[in-house]
Amino acid sequence: MSADLLSPILSYFNVRARVFYTGRLCGHATFDQSEDAGFLHLLRSGTANLRDSTGFITTLTKPTLVFYPRPLTQWIDVDQSGADLACASVDFEHKSFNPIALALPSRFMCELEELQSLQPLLEILFAEAFFEAPGRQEVLNRLFELVLIQLLRATITRGSGDVGLLRGLAHPQLSRAISAMHAEPANSWPLEELAGLAAMSRSSFAATFKREMGQTPGDYLTTWRISTAQALLLRGTPLKHVAESVGYASQAGFLRAFKTSVGKSPTVWLRHAEQVVHRQP
């Protein structure tokens, strides 16, 4: 049985979608980065001009998926002939240290016909989007979240030209070791064991991991442990249990590792993080 590359990550770092527009768009629409969310647009029909604050400009002439995983102002302009659109805001949980959110490209575009695995889901989504039915909002939110997960699957399969997590997860051998670390951060994961999971020698595994991920296996394990610890702290997990859950035999060792990685003690970081959460609308 192949490793599940996404579920261990999504169990700590969820993603939520909220649909805010479905229908025939004529004219101009602005999607502002001040909303502190990503955006997922599905163009079902028509022609639309898309531009964003990086200076990127393109014209969409075919049914297309456009995904901005992080806040970035963008504009869609449609002439009087109109275009059918379904749009949702996207919120990655703990976006400032969410490994998937940070690894994704700033913009992802793909014609819908290229996403064959999504076709049945898109048919249901569009049918729901352009038909008024009880519970429509919640159904569409869930359908967009399913589209997001399918999109993450496709992104992992495609890999990335950039060194980092997506490139590592796309590697047929490294991915086994990475997913094992994600699933069991409390494990000590010696190099020999990780190399065995990847069916590679120690030296080949270490060199390949550093080349594809940009970190040594040990450094990446520490990064994952601390990110996981941050997510657990925000859920209200007691500090002692957090340290044990992410593989630290002593609380003192965990405190040192956390401060080295984050620059603050867990209690100071948590107090600041909770204040940020409470200020959000």
Buried b (16+ CB within 10 A) or exposed e, 103-135: bbeebbebebeebeebeebbeebbebbeeeeee
Residue 280 confidence (pLDDT): 55
Residue of 223, 236, 224 whose CA lies nearest to 184 = 224
CATH code linked to domain 7-158: 2.60.120.10
Handedness of CA 93, 97, 100, 105 (dihedral sign): positive
Task: Give the dihedral sign, CA 95/98/103/108.
Answer: negative
* For the chain, domain boundaries: 7-158, 167-279
Residue 1: what pLDDT?
40
3-class DSSP state for residue 75? Answer: strand
Mean pLDDT by 10 residues, the chain (281 residues): 81 94 94 92 97 97 96 95 96 92 92 92 94 92 95 83 90 96 96 98 98 97 97 95 95 96 96 75 51
| Fold of domain 167-279 | Arc Repressor Mutant, subunit A (1.10.10)
Question: What are the pLDDT digits (tens) for 191-226?
Answer: 999 999 999 999 999 999 999 999 999 999 999 999
Please say whether the beta carbons of 100 and 123 come within 8 A: no
Cα→Cα distances 61→67, 78, 110, 128, Å: 16, 11, 12, 23
The dihedral built from the CA positions of residue 121, 127, 130 and 134, taken in this order, carries a sign that is negative
Predicted pLDDT at 30: 96
